Structure formats: structure tokens, C-alpha cells
Amino acid sequence: MRYFRVKNFEKFQHFKKERPPWIKLYTDLFQDREFMSLSETHRYQIIMIWGVASRCKNRIPEDISYLSRLLNTYHRVKLGPLFEKNFLEYCEDSVKMDHENEYREEKRRDREEAEKQQKHETPPGFHEPRRSLRELIKKKTPELSAIISKIGD
């Protein structure tokens, strides 16, 4: 599972202990261009996410259903605008995990492709499977005369 965090969270966090009773909310925020460009829903959500971050050491699971319930919101939480405006960022270990997962997925696809190629290639010393007599008759191949001559012997 991926995790994200509130960027510059220490600015909003007064207490160093886990589960503080309150967080800072600066009035300068209401003159901040990036914050005010968010929809009302997203402004509400980021403030609520700051509260969540204070309770989980600023390491929040990227589970939209869980967040929607936790924030008690009527709207489904959409984190995209909060990432775009740099209020949120992915935790480094989540980014590293994503790269590792991509690497594993690429290796898995390479393995599957190699297995497919092996199935379709004829190994050295093996011949193509014999065709049925009907196929040979339909194609009128030179192999047909060889088969007929063997039958006649």
C-alpha cells in the first residue's frame, strides 16, 4: 500500500507527541493563493487531513474509502488537486516501493514473454509435429507421395 504525507507538516504541528489535542492553523493560509484556488471541498479535506496526519505520524495510507469515512465527508476524497498544489506528497518508501513493484512487474512480463517464445519455438533435434493425412491431401504436398509410397510397400 502506498502512503502519503502532508508537505511541511511540522509548520502545522505544535506538539511533538503523537495524537496531539490540536494543530496550528495560520490565518495567513486564507491569503495563500494555492490554498484559496482549491475548491471548498478540497480546502476542507486538506484541513481534515492535517488532523489525520497529526495522529499517524504524518504517514497516511492512500486508501480513498478509508479516508472518506475518516473525514466524514459527503464527497469522495480526491487527492489529485492536493498533490498538484503541493499540499501532499508521497512518502519516500512508497515511491521506492512503486519503483520496486514496477521492476518486479517488468521482470514478470519478460519471463512470461520468454516462456511464450519457448513454447512456440521447436527445440533443436525436434521436428514439427506430423500433419494428418487429410491436411496433406488438402495441400497436395510432396510428403503425400512419400506417405503413399510407404503404404504401398
In contact, 20 and 14? CB cutoff 8 Å: yes
User: Do 9 and 50 contact (CB within 8 A), yes or no?
Assistant: yes
Instruction: List CB contacts of 133: < 8 A, sequence separation 6 or more.
Output: 147
pLDDT in tens, 119-151: 766 555 555 556 666 665 656 666 666 776 677
Per-residue pLDDT reduced to its tens digit, 26-37: 888 899 999 999
**∠94-98-104 over CA atoms, to 5°?**
140
Residue 47 to residues 18, 88, 144, 147: CA-CA distances in angstroms? Answer: 18, 12, 81, 83
Cell of 126: 525436434
Give the pLDDT confidence of 3-58 residue by residue, as tens digits.
Answer: 999 998 877 676 666 777 788 888 888 999 999 999 998 999 999 999 888 888 88
Helix (H, G, I), strand (E, B) or coil at 60: strand
Angle between helices 64-71 and 40-55 (to 10 degrees): 100
SS3 52: helix
Nine-digit cell at 134? 487429410
pTM: 0.57
The pair phi, psi for residue 74, each rounded to 5°, is: -75, -25
